[in-house]
Amino acid sequence: MKPFIGVQELRNDLRAKKYSAVELAHFYLNRISELNGSINGFITVDSERCLERAALADRQLAHSNPHPLCGIPIAHKDLFCTKGVRTTCASNMLGSFIAPYDATVVKQTAEAGTVSLGKTNMDEFAMGSSNETSWFGVVRNPWNLNCVPGGSSGGTAASVSSGMTPLATGSDTGGSIRQPASLCGITGLKPTYGRVSRFGMIAFASSLDQGGPLAHSATDVYELLAAMEGHDPMDSTSADVENTTLPAGDRSFVIGYPESLFDDLDSDIAGCIERARLQFEALGHKIEVVELPHIDAAVAAYYVISSAEASTNLARYDGVRYGHRTEVSEDLLDMYCQSRTEGFGLEVKRRILTGTYSLSVGYFDAYYLKAQKIRRLVRDGFLTAFENVDMILAPVTPTTAFEFNSMKADPVEMYKQDLYTIPVSLAGLPALSLPCGFVNDLPVGMQLIGRHFAEGEVLAGGMAFQDRTDWHEHHPTLESASAL
């Protein structure tokens, strides 16, 4: 067995009985034991349940018509509730929280027969772009252990990239699937808001949060999306739409190129995406320049809206109804204060404070309301562009993976990491992040942004690109990681 196998090959091997689901689970559990000490992609490895589920998958595989993902290992970002298993959101606040029920995503993927290896590391409450805010320690980028994997789904991306799991779930509020996918050289999809149920996914900013798949290729991402998506009456913003299908035949698309977005982009990164643009043309797709107005205001609007929503969502962690409770307090109020002081990390506190401020009387109109208006303008800008094009090709990140602590001193520098991902989130659109080159031996990604619920089109675009290129087939060597 080898670590970087795609879903199709794993499925063929399982069905041809080259190995059993139990043997496959052992293989990945061993790889996690070998590498997780240095990568720190997993917070919880659930070997016992994993092997039980693998044995169940073997029984299902012995019958006719098992689900296409039956027996295939998966890992879940540690904000998806998993019944009976610790679900921490990488926070001390939930450090010992055992979820009493499964998130819909966890339930659906389990029903599909996937075998969960455990829960992956992330930025605390999904706030961050570097996975440096986790209570459970930083995650290292498999391509260079001195660099961050991105965030907040950094543990997920690093675990897939290092071959500790072939499939994994993440969540994206302002870029948290696409940015780590890009920095770790893998493929990840942020679905349309409402495509994947949020039930049981611990909330950060509810009007933006969206779960999605990460894997080695657009094809594998598509397979996992099929097991995650669907209308869920338990989530009031879940969309009642047809599941994703790929467009029939070899469709040629009109791909929008937002030229002005590339003006300030690092020229080496821009060069990789430019090369991809030529590749799309060579494949018979048409490129058309598009304008995306108001993008420059998107980061500011996002941090107002997402922090406002976070401040209300996180109000529930008071040490009584939910979360860590302090052992020393003088009275009730002091207990709330101490519990929250001890339970939350610095970045989470910063968001609660700024969010509460922008929602408070006297500031609401100047900040929150204004940010909502910008959100509408950004969305309208995309909808206008989509009158002429089927999808938009854009950068994912302004830099490749950066070194630890290099952006910690100035949070705004870190927020700027999300320059290209946030507008898509504000508009609620789907976007696929996929590898398109390397700069100084570190992966570079690009994103294909689609119309609402047009995941099939961006996935088809990504598959066509990956059919002709092998950027997604490059893997880190990890010699130093296993030696650590």
Which one of residues 7, 39, 127, 148 is an interface residue with ligand GLN (CB under 6 A)?
127
Residue with tokens 């999605």, as numbered in its chain: 212
Burial class (CB in 10 A: 0-12, 13-18, 19+), 261: buried
Minimum CB distance to ligand GLN, residue 126 (Å):
4
Minimum distance of ligand GLN from residue 184's CB (angstroms):
15
Smallest gap from Cβ 221 to ligand GLN, in A, equals 17
CB 339 within 8 A of CB 326: yes
98's CB contacts (< 8 A; 6+ apart) are: 84, 85, 86, 87
Residues 181-220 that bind ligand GLN (CB under 6 A): 204
Catalytic residue among 116, 130, 152, 425: 152
Rounded distance between C-alpha atoms, residue 287 and residue 277, angstroms: 8
Token pair, residue 294, equals: 């108001």
Report in angstroms how near the CB of residue 202 gets to ligand GLN at its nearest.
11
Among 73, 118, 128, 194, binds ligand GLN (CB under 6 A): 128
By the rule CB under 6 A, 390 interacts with ligand GLN: no
Amino acid 267 reads S
β-pair type (431-439, 254-257):
unpaired
Does 77 participate in catalysis according to the annotation?
Answer: yes
Choose between 190 and 285: whose C-beta lies nearer to ligand GLN. Answer: 190
Whichever of 319 and 423 has its CB closer to ligand GLN, that residue is: 423
Q: Are 382 and 431 in contact (CB under 8 A)?
A: no
Q: Is the dihedral of CA 446, 448, 449, 454 positive or negative?
A: negative
Cβ-contact 295, 379 below 8 angstroms: no
Give the residue, chosen from 82, 176, 354, 447, that forms a contact with ligand GLN under the rule CB under 6 A. Answer: 176
- The CA distances from residue 86 to 82, 345, 413, in Å, are 7, 19, 33
Catalytic residue among 162, 176, 306, 433: 176
Residues present in the chain in total: 484
Size of the site for ligand GLN (CB under 6 A): 13
Q: Check if the beta carbon of residue 43 is closer than 8 Å to that of residue 152.
A: no
* Nearest approach, Cβ of residue 127 and ligand GLN (Å): 5
Residues 80, 201 contacting (CB under 8 angstroms): yes
Q: Which of 61, 69, 94, 126 binds ligand GLN (CB under 6 A)?
A: 126
DSSP-based three-state secondary structure for 437: strand
CA atoms within 13 A on the CB side of 373: 7
Residue 173 sits in the site that holds ligand GLN (CB under 6 A): yes
In this chain, which stretch among 8-16, 37-45, 127-135, 391-399 interacts with ligand GLN, using CB under 6 A? 127-135
Selection from 380, 372, 193 nearest residue 300 by Cα: 372
| Residue 152 a catalytic site member | yes
Classify residue 316 as exposed, middle or buried by CB count within 10 Å of its CB (0-12, 13-18, 19+).
exposed
Residue 197 C-beta: closest distance to ligand GLN, Å: 17
Among positions 418-457, residues that touch ligand GLN (CB under 6 A) are 418
Cβ-closest residue to ligand GLN? Answer: 176
Cα–Cα distance measured from residue 120 to residue 482, given in angstroms and rounded to the nearest whole number: 19
Nearest-approach distance from CB 120 to ligand GLN, in angstroms: 14
Which of 109, 141, 152, 313 touches ligand GLN by CB under 6 A?
152
287-346: contacts with ligand GLN (CB under 6 A): 306
* Site for ligand GLN contains 170 (CB under 6 A): no
The correct pick among 175, 258, 343, 456 for binding ligand GLN (CB under 6 A) is 175
Q: Which of 44, 114, 129, 339 is in the footprint of ligand GLN by CB under 6 A?
A: 129
Please give the positions annotated as active site: 77, 152, 176
- Interaction site with ligand GLN (CB under 6 A): 126-129, 152, 172-176, 204, 306, 418
